[in-house]
A and B are shown apart, each in its own frame.
Chain A
Amino acid sequence: MAQTLIEQHGLFGCVQCGRCVAGCPISIRTALNTRKLIYQSLLESKKRVQSPDIWCCTTCKTCSDRCPKGVEIMEYIVALRRYQVERGKIEPTARNALESILKHGNPWERAREKRTEWITDDLDVRILEEGESTDVLLFVGCTPAYDPEAQKSARALAKLLNKAGVDFAILGTAESCCGNEVERMGEEGLFEMLVEENTELFSKYKFNRIVTISPHCYNTFKNEYTALDFEIIHYTQLLQELIESGALKFDGKIGENVIFHDPCFLGKQNAVFDPPRFVLQSALENELLEFDRNRERSQCCEGGGGRMWIEVESDIERTAEERVKDAEYFGAEIIATSCPFCMLTLSDAVKTTGLEDKLRVIDISEILIIDY
């Protein structure tokens, strides 16, 4: 007999210790209470729990990581979402994002033909044609390709790669959404379709490795695309390599106090903690500042799990607002991050908390080109 969701995700192992709720970044400001959700699911194991609260989850995965009994809590929430997606009754904003991915290959309801508009005249960015080869395939990702703020990080990275003499290229308008958020929003069928189409797309080009700007693309290519036979790295890992080989040199002249915010999908979900720190430190005069909650304990910015398209009402401040206040408390003038979603949520938070005169949120690539 097929396993139930409760069996599949090990819910019978739950001892109701509450570590999941304690670690959940949004339990304090939303109705989602993972321990209660599991308890309810076990009590009503004959029927499927249909709580709207599951849409509050950012899929940061702190709950699953901290569970002493190995219960796959975040994965269970995604599985519950799948049933709601199947019934079609989801938040209109999430619906629009998913429909946009199907139609245009990006969640931002933007035309495919505009996917390369981030490339300004001062950049040397090659668009790979079918059958052509390159060393590094830069996977730009939907948000750096379309969002005016996030585009800056794509431009900065292209400048750095130009400067380091890296043989790189992009797929241009052929590039499509990676599907990381699609999977987490519970749109299983669309995710499978994207995996199939992207795997097929990559096979038409020759390259040695893929470098992603977003940790979300990195995560899904690395862990969820099973048929890729090339190396997948995050851009901070490539920059570390370029600095270590001497292809890129920074003279440590940036005098501002910089603090690093670990993106969940880079840090706690993929254990890439040191490359962003190494890269940043090479350009800074002062020692890189750290949040008290850093590395695997880093606080989620609420940008993951489809939450870029799902607003959650709450009287309590956003985690990103708490985060930028923390940054100010630790004496930072710049919050550095290496994820387009973190960049956008934290930038908004700087504005809503009135810290615009004191703090800026900048992607690592952009910080590195400050002195260029």
Chain B
Amino acid sequence: MNSIVCIKRVPETAEATLKIASDNRRLEEENLVFAINEADNYALEQALLLQEEFGGDITIVSVGPEKTDEIIRMALAKGATSAIRITPTDMAELDPFAVASLIANEVEDLDYDIIFTGCVASDDGFSQVGVTLAEILGIEHISMTIEMEAGEDGATVNRELEGGLMAKYDVKYPAVVTIQTGINEPRYASILGIKRASSKEIRVVDSVDIGGKRVNLEKIYFPPPGKMAEIIEGGPDAVAEKTCEILKSKGLL
């Protein structure tokens, strides 16, 4: 069974102090740490588990700058067979449709059963590349997959819905499956493994033009704090004390 896994290099923003670049459309990258998008890491693991069960090749596809090779090498270290990095001329012009089109161009002639993507990217949160890719390729798709039982010709998948509901589907290959975090436990890529994987091929598709963009990013910005919001500042002790005071004053403690 052959799979393709689409991964994205994203900044880790949980702890970082974010600065918006002067064009108001990007983040300043200087002090940011980049990693594989979390959901994509689970998608990769799902492909690796299928590879362990059924054999076959895993092709990694990523749209991003040259530095994307860092996360591609980690995927190759974990067991992916080969990789394609697509680096468009103007990264800032990408939208989900453009990304899906670029990926579709490269994968349409490949021999694959499943294309895995993460269900959402942690940076722009569109959740659209996987399903758009399926539409362009004219194949089935299942989004938000939280459980998956794969067979030779098709898979049974569970999607997690609101209100604690699960929905079960059967899907025939070829199909796009977008994966939720928590479906498996991603493995670790050791440094020696990453070094060893440097002999595996990353095919670079450089300087491609973005055709068919559908949405325009106007600006990114920090929303002003709401009227009811109070930002508590200080060390852990001070924050805890102030929080307790507030909870007490509201009769909640």
> Quick check: is B78 within 8 A (CB to CB) of the other chain?
yes
> Quick check: is A102 within 8 A (CB to CB) of the other chain?
yes
Among B152-211, those with CB < 8 Å from A are 185-195
B15 touches A110 (CB 8 A): yes
Chain A, residue nearest B192 (CB) = A189
> Quick check: is B232 within 8 A (CB to CB) of the other chain?
no
Measured between alpha carbons, how far is A232 from B72 in the docked complex, in Å?
Answer: 39
B188 touches A90 (CB 8 A): yes
Measured between alpha carbons, how far is A318 from B186 in the docked complex, in Å?
Answer: 29
CB-defined contacts of A271 to chain B, threshold 8 Å: none
Interface on chain B toward A: helix, strand, loop, or mixed SS? loop
Q: Within the complex, what minimum Cβ distance (angstroms) separates B240 from chain A?
A: 10
Measured between alpha carbons, how far is A102 from B70 in the docked complex, in Å?
Answer: 12
* Besides the known contacts A95-B186, A99-B188, A109-B15, 8 further A-B residue pairs in the complex with CB atoms under 8 A apart: A88-B190, A89-B188, A94-B188, A103-B12, A111-B17, A113-B16, A148-B237, A189-B192
Q: Within the complex, what minimum Cβ distance (angstroms) separates A33 from chain B?
A: 26
B191 touches A86 (CB 8 A): no
Chain A, residue nearest B187 (CB) = A88
Chain B, residue nearest A187 (CB) = B190
Chain A, residue nearest B15 (CB) = A111
Among A79-101, those with CB < 8 Å from B are 85-90, 92, 94-95, 98-99
Q: Within the complex, what minimum Cβ distance (angstroms) separates B234 from chain A?
A: 11
**Can you spell out 19 A-B residue pairs with CB atoms less than 8 angstroms apart?**
A86-B192, A88-B188, A88-B189, A88-B193, A90-B187, A92-B185, A98-B188, A104-B33, A109-B15, A111-B33, A112-B31, A114-B15, A148-B237, A187-B191, A188-B190, A189-B191, A189-B192, A189-B195, A190-B190
> Quick check: is A193 within 8 A (CB to CB) of the other chain?
yes
Q: Within the complex, what minimum Cβ distance (angstroms) separates A116 from chain B?
A: 13
CB-defined contacts of A88 to chain B, threshold 8 Å: 78, 187-190, 193
Among B37-67, those with CB < 8 Å from A are none
A188 touches B192 (CB 8 A): yes
Among A55-100, those with CB < 8 Å from B are 85-90, 92, 94-95, 98-99
CB-defined contacts of B185 to chain A, threshold 8 Å: 92
> Quick check: is B224 within 8 A (CB to CB) of the other chain?
no
